Every structure is written in structure tokens, then in C-alpha cells.
Chains A and B, each alone.
Chain A
Amino acid sequence: MSDPSPLLALDEVTVQFSGLTAVDHVSFQVRAGEVCALIGPNGAGKTTVFNAVSGNVRIHSGAIQFDGKPIHNLPPHIISGRGVRRTFQNGGLFAERTALENVLVGLHAAVPNNLFALVLGTRKSAALELEATRRAHELLDVLEIGHLAGTLVGALPGGQQRMVEIVRALATEPPLLLLDEPSVGLTPPTRTQLGVVIRRLAAERGIGILLIEHAIELVMNVSDRVIVMNEGRKVADSTPDVVRADRAVLEAYLGHA
């Protein structure tokens, strides 16, 4: 917290879709090791903020800085390479592939294999692929799902799928992780486990986590900070306790106190 420079900084970011303002001059920051939740009703612009950060949506004005450098309007694979990795609300996994293969895709940038060496079948290129496989197994072990390596992801229950997706996003050890509604479709016990994992990643690895979430208990349990959005604007940005106490925020934007 003593580090004055934030990991991610949005400065007056505005996104428009054919004249409609989806995100309206939004500014906020995420620091290393901090879990920051982004909440608000449907259509508030949360996912658009996410997509702007990950490069899937162009911003019209403002700036997004990661690690002190501007990343807005760069292609998604470049932003991913800089160390901003994300999960998706649904469909982000390759269902007909095994957990291991999904993580291997996540490791793509970490396997500097060259086409010609590969096709010629050099020892080095084989070693690189084997090393990637070994690394993928290790990563699965970190979240204790190593035993699922050979299982097709489509055959896994929701909670384990979510873990595979988080492992895949973490594969290149990104400093910042964007989680888009990770608790959707999870049973209450798996939600609790997910919360534990999120806290662990922030606390033990110092990863900055930006989290879109509708499950309000999860948000309150894991977040250091909660940002509330409505109609494209940021309407609150504070600790969970303060936001929770702000009955107006909850009633207006979440529909329950």
C-alpha cells in the first residue's frame, strides 16, 4: 500500500457505441495485491470497462495505464502480453479440450518455440513443449486441481471449470487479473472456495484483482475496495463497509439492502 503508483489506472475513460455512452468519464485505480470489485446493475457498463482494459473495446477519450504505461486501444494479445489477463463470463474455456490443454493455451506466450525448429523437430523445440507441459501441471497443482489435468473441461462441474480458467489466466504470472463474474452458476460452497482462492492470490502473490460480481456476499467478503457503477458512471468507490452502509447505493443499484 506504500507503493504510490497504482498497477492499473483508469483516467476519465469514456466508451461510446454508435452515439450511446456506455462508459462515461470513469476513473479508478487498482493496486498490486488489492482485490477491487466492480458492481452495479445490468447495463451499468462494468463489462465495457473490462473490455476496454483488456483491449476488446476501443475507448474514445481518457487513458488507461498499466504499470505506468498507456495500454488503451492496444490489441488484446499485446495487453495480455504486458501482464493483464482476464477470464470470461461464459464460453472462455475450450470445452472439448482437457484442463491441461487449456492451461497450455494460457502459456502460449511462454513457449518461445520457432516454426522452423519445430517442424525440423529439433531437440530444443521438443524440450520447450515438454517444459510447457510440466509447467502447466505445476500451475494446476497450485489451485489443487492437478488431478483434473487429463479431463475434458466440458465434463467438469462449474466450480472446477472456473478454477481451470483462473489457472489458465494465471499461467504467465500476470500482475493483474480481471475476473468477469466468476461465481455465476456456482453452488454456495464453491462460491466460498472461490473467495478463498481470490484472497489467496492477492495476499500470497500480490496480484491485483479486478472483479465483476453480482454475488454480493462474495464481493463483501473478498474485496478491499468496491466500485459501484450505474448508467456508465462511477457512483461510489470505497471499502466494502462504507459501500454496504450506503443504503442508497445498494437500494438504487442492486435492488436490495
Chain B
Amino acid sequence: MDSAAASRAPARAAEGRLFFRRRRVFWLLPVLLLFLPPFLNQYQQYVVNTVLVYVLVGIGFNVVVGNLGLLAFSNVAYFGLGTYGSALLMAKLGWPWAATVIPAGIIGALAGVITSIPAVRGVRLFYLAILTLAFGELMRWTYVHWESLTNGSMGMTVPSAAFPLDTDRHRFYVFLVLAILAIVATDRLLRSRFGRAFEAIRGNEVAAAAMGIPTNRYILLGFAWSGFIVGIGGAMFAISVGQVSPPSFNMQELILEFAVVMVGGLGSLIGSVIGAAVLTALPQIFISFPGFQELVFGVMIILVLLFLPRGLVSLLARLSPLFADRFYRE
């Protein structure tokens, strides 16, 4: 009994840090990133900015497929609606980009709520997958055919913005702040009773409800959160590419987004960040070999899923216990 009590004390201290644990060492990375731009040329800077866009796209997607564990694939719709939403608010209403960020998130969140309806009504697995895929395709069809608004498949030009959004290098700092905010907010969400409710729903919905969790409300919330974060990613994408067209939101794009989540580590927030970095940046190395990029991309996915089914984040967890208990669970 005494030894049990004694061994409990340190275990308890460790568990007490589970929530809102301050691990200042993790802030080192964003601080170091602040000094990155001078070392990059414009193209490299653009790639890094795209990584930051995909950080949001990945962590949002992960909430639904990784944490809630639902086979819902409307992510590309949230992304597209956020992108078009931001671009249209700028082009048609003359809003400054900064004012379109939250609306883009809200548009994404609304799309999240709409696509959560089948899931809330009990649709699961392949049926949910095909319904949510169809929604994504329907949105792409809309961008193509609502020509008066979106200029159809020609694509629309995003008005150029003033400082600090005028150059890739300046945008980088804005994007970095948004990515950090999204990561911190999602981390807090997932580490709280909301995250536990998501995980409980993934584990066993009947048991989750028996524990007093209103499962439908949490499914809706998970989709809305996902849509919000990804929609903001869309606003970043709009200002970053300057030219928005429907093919950016097709099936191939969805596969890339799914790969970000899977390669990083399904269900892991930091995994999605890693997945975004690796899958966006690595293929760029082979940019001068046409066709080779896709090959690298495909081989990378196969290798990671074969040898690290828990994603690249599991590798980090093996290397450092710091990652293991902060960001990764077996």
C-alpha cells in the first residue's frame, strides 16, 4: 500500500501536466522560423508559405478523420469555399484581406455544419465517405459553372494587397502567426473535454453517449471546427496564389490533403503539421524533373504507411520522450 502511494506521487505529477502543459521548448521552432526568410529566395519562400497553408488544411482535416474518426472527405470543399470566399470578398466587395480571414473561416465552418448533417443522422463508413466526397465535387462544379461570380474554369484573379501582404516574405510572418494561433487553439480544444469527447466517439459511440456525451453535438462541433480552420487556410491560399481556379479543389487535391494527415500521423495534431511540411516541401526538390514529383509523392506515402503506419510523428516520439508525451499516443 505504501509503495503504491509512493509510486503514485510522481505519476500524478506527470498526469497533472497533461492539460495546458507549458513546454516552452516547442516555441523555439516558430521563433527560429522568424529568422528563416533572409535565407530563402522568392520561390522557396512561396513554398514555405504553402506549407503554412497546409498546416491549417491538415490540422483541420485531422479533427474529423483522426480525432472524431469519421470517414468524411469534404475537406477540399471547406478549403475551396474559404479560398473563394476570401477572394470574392476582396474582388467584389473590396474588403481588405485581413477582414476576410474570419469570414472565410465562418464560411468553412458553415460548410462543416452542412456536411456534418449525414454524420449526425447516423450515416457512417463508405456511405458517409461517398456523400461527403459528393459535396466536395458539387462545390467544385459550382465554382466552374457559377461563372458570373467565379469566372468559371478560367479562374479569378485575387486583387493584390498592400503591406504586409504585398510580398511572399511579408505574408510569411502573417501566415506564421495564423498557423500558430490555429495550432494552439486546436491543441487546447483536443486536450480538453472536447477532445476527449471526440476520441470517445471514435472509440465507441454507444459508450460515449452512456458517459453523458451528446455525441451528435460533438460531431457537429468537430466538423464546424474543422471547416473553420481549413476555411482560414483557404483565405491564406487565396492571397498566396493570387489566382483562384476550380482545379485547385479537385480529387487530387483531396488526396494530397488526406496524405498530409496520414503521413503525419492520423489523430496527431503535430503529425499534421509535419505532414504538411514534408508533403508540400519535399516534392519541390524535384521540381525540375517533370513527372518525378508525383512519383516521389506516391513513393513517400507508400513508404511511410508501410513502415510507419502511425505516421512520421511516431518516429519523433521514438526519438524523444518529449514528443512522446506531448503529442503522440500509441
Contact = CB atoms under 8 A, between A and B. Distances in A.
Asked if A and B are interacting partners, one says yes
Contact of A56 (B194, B203, B206): B206
B210 A80 contact: yes
A7 B196 CA distance: 31
Interface string A95-112: 111101100111111010
A77 B214 contact: yes
Contact of A96 (B4, B11, B330): B330
A198 B16 CA distance: 30
A147 B192 CA distance: 23
A105 B194 contact: no
A133 B18 CA distance: 9
Say which size band chain A's interface belongs to.
35 or more
B41 interface: no
A80 B209 contact: yes
A86 B11 contact: no
B119 interface: no
Contact of A115 (B189, B191, B199, B209): B189
Interface residues of B, number: 38
Interface string B175-193: 0000000001100110111
Interface of B: 4, 7-8, 11-12, 14-16, 18-20, 184-185, 188-189, 191-194, 196-197, 199-200, 203-204, 206-215, 221, 329-330
Given A80-B211, A115-B189, A129-B193, A105 B4 contact: no
A113 B204 contact: no
Of residues B14, B20, B185, B197, which shows the largest number of chain A Cβ atoms within 10 Å of its Cβ? B20
Contacts of A134: 16
B192 A125 contact: yes
B207 A97 contact: no
Contacts of A46: none
Contacts of B199: 94, 97, 105
Interface in A111-167: 111, 113, 115, 118-119, 121, 125-126, 129-130, 132-134, 137, 146-147, 149-150, 152
B12 A104 contact: no
The 7 A-B residue pairs whose C-beta atoms are closest, nearest first, are A109-B212, A76-B209, A80-B212, A129-B19, A94-B203, A126-B20, A111-B193
A55 B211 CA distance: 12
A126 B17 CA distance: 11
A121 B212 contact: no
Given A96-B329, A132-B193, 19 more contacts: A81-B212, A88-B207, A94-B199, A97-B203, A98-B15, A105-B200, A108-B212, A108-B213, A111-B192, A113-B192, A113-B193, A115-B189, A126-B20, A129-B19, A129-B191, A129-B192, A129-B193, A146-B8, A150-B15
Contacts of A105: 196-197, 199-200, 208, 211, 213
Contacts of B18: 133
Contact of A77 (B4, B19, B193, B212): B212
A22 to B, nearest CB: 17
Interface of A: 54-56, 75-77, 80-81, 85-86, 88, 91-98, 100-101, 104-109, 111, 113, 115, 118-119, 121, 125-126, 129-130, 132-134, 137, 146-147, 149-150, 152, 168-169, 172
B16 A130 contact: yes
A147 B4 contact: yes
5 contacts: A56-B209, A75-B209, A75-B214, A94-B207, A97-B203
A86 B194 CA distance: 21
B204 A149 contact: no
Contacts of A146: 4, 8
B189 A149 contact: no
Contacts of A94: 199-200, 203-204, 207
B201 to A, nearest CB: 10
A147 B7 contact: yes
Contacts of B16: 130, 133-134
A169 to B, nearest CB: 8
Given A105-B208, A146-B8, A147-B11, A119 B185 contact: yes
Contacts of B213: 77, 105, 108-109
A107 B212 CA distance: 9
Of residues A54, A91, A92, which shows the largest number of chain B Cβ atoms within 10 Å of its Cβ? A92
A85 B237 CA distance: 47
Contacts of B194: 113, 115, 118
Contacts of A100: 15
A54 B210 contact: yes
Contacts of A81: 212
Contacts of B196: 101, 104-105, 108
Nearest to B202: A94
Contacts of B185: 119
Nearest to A126: B20
B8 A147 contact: yes
A245 B67 CA distance: 53
B52 to A, nearest CB: 20
A85 B210 contact: yes
Contacts of A126: 19-20
Nearest to A111: B193
A154 B210 CA distance: 20
B188 A76 contact: no
A104 B20 CA distance: 15
